[in-house]
């Protein structure tokens, strides 16, 4: 790890060696991986990436805390498309909008970036078993990436996790523990089991390497934009690890001289579960909330990474926007109909937040915005149908079709 200096607690500043099985600080704070940016600046430039044929997150190795001789993970993680979204931009009344479709990762969510890193670090630690607790996507991504690398997994999910995600876990051969309780209960049980059996810990708010994997999403966005910084990057927030990772990636690029200015973050949470945004909006410390939203991936009443997430939003001079479940369902339809991108509820929550921020006058219509679609809609078909409704049902006769068209107001 040529450019890694070590790890430092975000709470008390205590420093640690970057060993593969690093967890939290003795004070309880989460660690941050520290790099030698002067050395990166000296050795690495955007030109090197132009010649790089590795179209995956591993193209950013100088910015990643993995050993030079560590093999990458077998599944292709990262290098998801960044689509210009002119029809959606027009519908929203926005100058320029891009969609980063991270639902195109191998297990269909942004979490693959963190799980791939966890698999590499687990191998470096000599572990053969990895465990995590998850609202669903961290679990399915760990299960898939670990299966591909020949590692076994113990996965704790709340029993409300959507069936599509649980099916992935079973197909990938995990031992799945479906916990009859909240996400908080699920996390606590996984912690107790990890302490008991000593598995490699892929809980994103404990293992500091995971947000280093997640940061590759913003490294990619900026490379795909030709290193031109957008005004805003919008994404949905649950535990806070993703937004913290996204910000870390941007700061890395800035410190290494790849970009000349930083964008502002738009942190989007569900109205019914927005402890982090509420802290930003009221300027008070965060407090727990009920997990009252259909966007299961961000139904996190007790966020596990509040310090890093709040720092990221504040440092970026960010904006906190809350959206209702109806606004999330509307964003699912809007993304599908204008751009052909199908996101799960939490996957489109960032876009719902961009719409809301425009309506509230929090961002100018002249802005250039990147909205990250964090997960694919096929993971949660129940809410897809809820957003868009059932199709018309007709007998296999043209007369029946004519009647159905007439009653639905369709005139081909
Ligand atoms: C996990 C997840 C998020 C939020 O990430 P956090 O690190 O929990 O803030 C958003 N969208 C999807 C689809 C996710 O799976
Ligand atoms: Zn500490």
Residue 264 CA to residue 319 CA, distance in Å, equals: 8
- For 367-402, how does the pLDDT look when each residue is reduced to its tens digit (9 = 90+)? 999 999 999 999 999 999 999 999 999 999 999 999
Q: For residue 381, give both structure tokens.
A: 């078909």
Ligand nearest to the CA of 15: 2
**Distance (Å) from CA 158 to ligand 1 centroid:** 15
Binding-site residue ranges: 137, 374
Ligand nearest to the CA of 32: 2
Whether the per-residue pLDDT at 204 is higher than 80: the answer is no
Closest CA to 380 of 351, 339, 342: 342
What count of Cα atoms within 13 Å lies in the side-chain half-sphere of residue 42? Answer: 6
Q: What's the confidence (pLDDT) of residue 405?
A: 97
Residue 60 CA to residue 323 CA, distance in Å, equals: 34
Over the chain, what is the mean pLDDT?
96
Residue 370 CA to residue 98 CA, distance in Å, equals: 5
CATH of 82-108+210-388 among 3.40.50.1100, 3.40.50.300, 3.30.1280.10, 3.40.50.620: 3.40.50.1100
Residue 342 CB: number of other CB atoms within 10 A?
21
**Distance (Å) from CA 340 to ligand 2 centroid:** 45
**Distance (Å) from CA 248 to ligand 2 centroid:** 19
């990458």: which residue's tokens? 72
**Distance (Å) from CA 138 to ligand 1 centroid:** 8
Q: What's the confidence (pLDDT) of residue 162?
A: 84
Question: If pLDDT is split at 50, 70 and 90, which confidence band does 113 have?
Answer: very high
Ligand nearest to the CA of 246: 1
Residues in a beta bridge with 98: 84, 370
Q: What's the confidence (pLDDT) of residue 136?
A: 86
- For 31-79, how does the pLDDT look when each residue is reduced to its tens digit (9 = 90+)? 999 999 999 999 999 999 999 999 999 999 999 999 999 999 999 999 9
Residue-wise DSSP of 109-151: BTHHHHHHHHHHHHHHTT-SEEEEE-SSHHHHHHHHHHHHHT-
Around ligand 1, the residues with Cβ closer than 6 Å are 109, 111, 137, 204, 236-243, 297-298, 300, 344, 346-347, 374-375
Give me the residue spans of the domains in the chain: 82-108+210-388
Closest CA to 21 of 151, 235, 240, 210: 210
Question: What are the residues whose beta carbon lies below 5 Å from ligand 2 (ion)?
Answer: 9, 11-12, 14, 25, 27, 29
């913290």: which residue's tokens? 244
Residue 284 CB: number of other CB atoms within 10 A?
9
Whether the per-residue pLDDT at 135 is higher than 80: the answer is no
Would you say the pTM of this structure is higher than 0.75? Answer: yes
Of all protein residues, the one whose alpha carbon is nearest to atom 1 of ligand 1 is: 297
Least confident of 97-101, 135-139, 192-196, 375-379: 135-139
């Amino acid at each position: 790890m040529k450019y890694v200096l070590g790890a430092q607690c975000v709470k008390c500043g205590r420093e640690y060696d970057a060993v593969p099985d690093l967890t939290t600080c003795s004070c309880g704070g989460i660690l941050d991986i520290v790099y030698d940016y002067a050395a990166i600046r000296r050795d690495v430039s955007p030109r090197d990436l132009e010649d790089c044929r590795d179209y995956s997150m591993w193209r950013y190795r100088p910015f990643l805390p993995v050993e030079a001789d560590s093999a990458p993970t077998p599944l292709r993680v990262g290098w998801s498309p960044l689509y210009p979204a002119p029809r959606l931009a027009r519908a929203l009344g926005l100058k320029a909008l891009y969609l980063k479709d991270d639902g195109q990762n191998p297990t269909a969510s942004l979490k693959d970036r963190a799980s791939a890193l966890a698999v590499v670090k687990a191998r470096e630690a000599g572990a053969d078993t990895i465990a995590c607790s998850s609202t669903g996507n961290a679990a399915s991504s760990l299960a898939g990436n670990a299966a591909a690398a020949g590692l076994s997994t113990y996965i704790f999910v709340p029993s409300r996790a959507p069936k599509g995600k649980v099916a992935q876990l079973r197909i990938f051969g995990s031992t799945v523990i479906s916990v009859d309780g909240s996400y908080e209960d699920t996390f606590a049980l996984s912690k107790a089991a990890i302490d008991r059996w000593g598995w490699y810990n892929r809980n994103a708010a404990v293992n500091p390497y995971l947000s280093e994997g997640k940061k590759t999403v913003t490294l990619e966005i900026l490379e795909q934009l030709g290193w031109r910084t957008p005004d805003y990057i919008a994404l949905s927030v649950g535990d806070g690890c993703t937004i913290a990772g996204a910000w870390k990636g941007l700061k890395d690029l800035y410190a290494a001289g790849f970009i000349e200015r930083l964008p502002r973050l738009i942190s989007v949470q569900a109205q019914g579960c927005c402890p982090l945004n509420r802290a930003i909006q009221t300027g008070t410390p965060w407090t727990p909330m009920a997990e009252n939203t259909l966007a299961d991936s961000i139904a996190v009443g007790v966020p596990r990474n509040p310090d890093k997430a709040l720092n990221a939003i504040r440092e970026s001079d960010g904006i906190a926007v809350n959206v209702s479940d109806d606004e999330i369902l509307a964003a699912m339809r809007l993304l599908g109909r204008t751009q052909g991108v199908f996101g799960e509820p939490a996957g489109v929550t960032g876009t719902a937040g961009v719409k809301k921020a425009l309506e509230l006058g929090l961002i100018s219509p002249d802005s250039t915005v990147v909205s990250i679609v964090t997960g694919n809609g096929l993971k949660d078909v129940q809410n897809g149908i809820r957003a868009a409704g059932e199709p018309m049902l007709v007998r296999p006769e043209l007369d029946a079709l004519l009647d159905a068209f007439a009653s639905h107001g369709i005139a081909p």
